[in-house]
A and B are shown apart, each in its own frame.
Chain A
């Protein structure tokens, strides 16, 4: 097998390649034996954009990030980060990464872990102290700076990992399920951090299956399933339709099946959500339910959520 990407060609200095996208892939494919983990991923993430990479567990999200970071070797296809081929060693000094499987040296203190990453980044030694203090403040670990990481909770370790990814004002940050171990306050903090990164022009590649999180912070998303991108676009493009939530009793499963002509139903018993239903058809839907003997208690048209759209996409994919 050829050497995993560790190229040392002279990288462009910061800003020189500002016209190039943060991430670009062409037919990036990864197979593990007969299993296709990523099937021909082609996408472009512009600079400064918060990009959500969505998909169910095992869809290929983490594989994509590892391919882009040179941790895995692609079976075929190509990728570029910040205008340089994937694996370019010096480009990595302009990139931050929080792995899904985050683990840091338990025998070091939080400040020492960040100093280690400052050294490997590498950042000028004179900037380390300010950089570490500011990062600890950002991720809410200032009061634990000198405590051993081994004594940290999972959530605190994930905060530390996020801090390590933020060191040195990277131009591109990969966050792989960055809130998986965090409580609601922590999740809110991460959203604020992502917004802060976006405001200073850092591109963020956010891997997540937490749809509400993606919906709140991402400019654009791609939905991946079974290693293939099944939809992508801006949030407006993806969530253009209207969803209608109906609370009704007295309907049999056969009745509900007949109602599926109004659109995909997210059936939760008495509560049903009709995805992408034209609001003009709501009276017709209610009349149909009543004609079937159903009793309607609530009808609430609303904008389609990312979850509605996500489930619809996966179902369409399953059918095809």
Chain B
């Protein structure tokens, strides 16, 4: 097996043996079960005359609640990725774990890419598995399925990968706790900057709008989150928001347009730049 894949396998194996996967599985089942119960309650809500809500209204409420639930899910995924990635390299440098391994015919780039691949696989599988389970539970509870479920899961997974990549880059130089905290704060700031950009759109203030654009370029987590929102919104809602003009675009929990293709291309390039920088940083680190 290629050394890079050996490191990737080792990373997955560590998560499994340390019971991280088991903990995530149990927590996910609890959250999905409780949220399915909650979503099911929407269908039992009645109007003042005692009649049940029409299916269109159930779908609208469900879609909005699903956006809130997904925001929390993607947040937990991104934060978990940052916390796990923070000590990914530095933890093993500080403990001495890497000393005997790097004395083998193992390139540092193989360590970096292998660890990224291992954690990226976990993030992607978890996002797909847990997200898919949640969507299936909501569908069972309310009969509502977002219009673009696959795109939704892809955007959520990509947001997790952004935080994973940032945490790992920082981990090549900083201690685990510092790298993790910086990644967490950066994620939060990027989200806030995205909200500022929304406010700028609502107020038609170019400077505020630029804050959102720049933050999406520096850390594309919020831009990807907007893609996830767009994938969850029913067409009728999008049409209604478009009709509102700029005011309809000034909502941090709404997206009127899908992420532009240029942004998605930038995200691909962003991953390449951050991974390249991680390799360059670790190569020159003295151990």
The interface of chain A, by Cβ under 8 A from chain B, is: 1-4, 6, 66, 69-73, 89-90, 92-93, 95, 97-99, 101-105, 107-108, 116-117, 119-122, 161, 164-165, 174
Contact = CB atoms under 8 A, between A and B. Distances in A.
Contact of B101 (A72, A120, A122): A120
B107 A101 contact: no
A107 B6 contact: no
B105 A103 contact: no
B17 interface: yes
Interface stretch (B55-63, B224-232, B264-272, B279-287): B279-287
B29 interface: no
Contacts of B105: 89-90, 92-93, 120-122
A89 B14 CA distance: 26
Contacts of B283: 3-4, 6
A4 B96 contact: no
A122 B1 CA distance: 10
Interface of B: 1, 3, 6, 10, 13-14, 17-18, 95-97, 99-108, 283-287
Given A1-B284, A2-B284, A107 B104 contact: no
Contacts of A105: 10, 14, 97
A242 B284 CA distance: 49
23 contacts: A3-B284, A4-B283, A71-B287, A92-B104, A93-B104, A93-B105, A97-B100, A99-B96, A101-B99, A103-B95, A103-B97, A103-B99, A105-B14, A105-B97, A107-B13, A107-B17, A108-B13, A116-B10, A117-B104, A120-B104, A121-B105, A122-B3, A174-B103
A89 B102 CA distance: 10
A7 B105 CA distance: 10
Given A92-B105, A102-B96, A116-B10, 4 more contacts: A104-B97, A105-B97, A108-B17, A164-B100
Contacts of A98: 100
Nearest to A11: B105
B152 to A, nearest CB: 34
Contact of A101 (B10, B96, B103): B96
B100 A107 contact: no
Contacts of A90: 105
A89 to B, nearest CB: 5
A66 to B, nearest CB: 7
Contacts of A117: 100-101, 104
A161 B104 CA distance: 13
Given A4-B284, A73-B286, A120-B3, A104 B107 contact: no
Contacts of A72: 286-287
A109 to B, nearest CB: 10
A92 to B, nearest CB: 5
Given A4-B286, A71-B287, A107-B13, A120 B106 contact: yes
